[in-house]
Structure 1
Amino acid sequence: MEQSGTSTRLQAAVQGLASGVVSALRGGDHPHVVPAGDGAEAGDLALAAVRVLGADALLPGLVRPTPPDPAEVAVFRKAVEAYPPRPDAAPTVRWSHWGMTRALRRLDPSFLPGPSAEPDTGWLEGAGWQYLTHQLAVLAPLAVPGEECAVSALAARRPVDVARGFVRAVRRRDWRQAAGAGRWLTLLPGVPDTVGLEAGLDFVELMGGQDPLVVLQVQAARAARTGAPV
């Protein structure tokens, strides 16, 4: 029961953090996107929530001209340092951590994480379009305009497959996967016009908009498409 309660509190913390990021992306008055928490337990929960959200916890500071609060960056840095990937971590975990360190290096010049070599993409080479889309949706925080990496290069070679995965996710009502795939599609060259991406993202937000994690991905996609605050 205690583990279940902790999981519920973590989910609530992640949802709250995602809502804060959405508000900041929209230009709302959310000066503290990253929660600091009160007390040791709340602080640990806040760090875990940042780790779950990954680099998106500082997304407003990466795509908007207003720099983030130094306190937010400090909490984000604590999360990076507190949750390094284990040697047997899944590729998505290693890439998510790499994405967090990349964001932190941009916003905190004092952060020196050591070697910054990218993880490999071997697990995605030759992957079927369904699996590729699922993995890219998990790694949607890497889809930031002007921030290239091996994952984005691989996705750029398969825009039609990602588009197929986006349409499939919409049909299956998997709004989180659809939003993550749609975010990638906003950055990829060669996406078929028949996808109707802009209308598709509107539909995903309409149907899945009660989930802040879905809205975050849609707003990030719009920011990438317009190059302006959403």
Structure 2
Amino acid sequence: MKRYVALGSSMAAGPGIAPRADSSPRAAQRSARNYPHLVASALALDLVDVTYSGATTAHVLTDSQRGARPQIEALDGTETLVTVTIGGNDVGYVPLLFAASLPRWTRSVPLLGSRLRDLLDPEARERALTEVEAALVEVGRTVRSRAPHATVLFVDYLTLLPPAGPAPPLADSDVALGRRVAAALRRATAAAAEATGAGLVRAAEASVEHHAWSSQPWTTRPGLPVPGRPAPLHPNAQGMQAVADLIERALR
């Protein structure tokens, strides 16, 4: 059976989409119905899913995460497929939208408030964005060197925000910042794929009409986590199936 390794953050792990993947760490919030599992089932691949909620490019390349080894160590050179969804936590994409959904008074709370204000600071987000493309390129190069015979696919992030107009309860200024960060992350992912000879699955483009405020959403709106339901500001089951379908088409 051909080996498939999935690398990435919560946008690949699928927090809250039941059931949880067998034997996966609870902190990873890894679903048995995330796109790696769906692709592996459809194409009869031997899946090694090391996606982990909260992961950054550093957790892919060098850093342990809650006791889990760097994700890159899952590669042993026998892979035929590697997918990568990463970078959003490097630039604070979902965290900034979560911060924007909280009441404004929380930005004055000691310690917490300074973190929220930083997430919603356009200059701070721009500084993070200037570093993410190089980090994504390094991910691509390292995957290529460790899995030289694999098809490597960068899978960008599903669209969360409407392409225009409001996204209540988020303030218009925060929505605009979120859109800028999402667009820059999409461009950085595409650039990294091109620079490293990897493929690109354009989940962001495919999901523009299926944003979280649409009538047929592939992602969820802000809110409080509810056990047994997809996490706020993350893919739902329909979104994961849509991404899996995109990957299968790219491979076929």
Q: Which has the higher contact order (CA 8 A, sep 6+)?
A: 2
Structures share a fold, TM > 0.5?
A: no
- The structure richer in strand per residue is 2
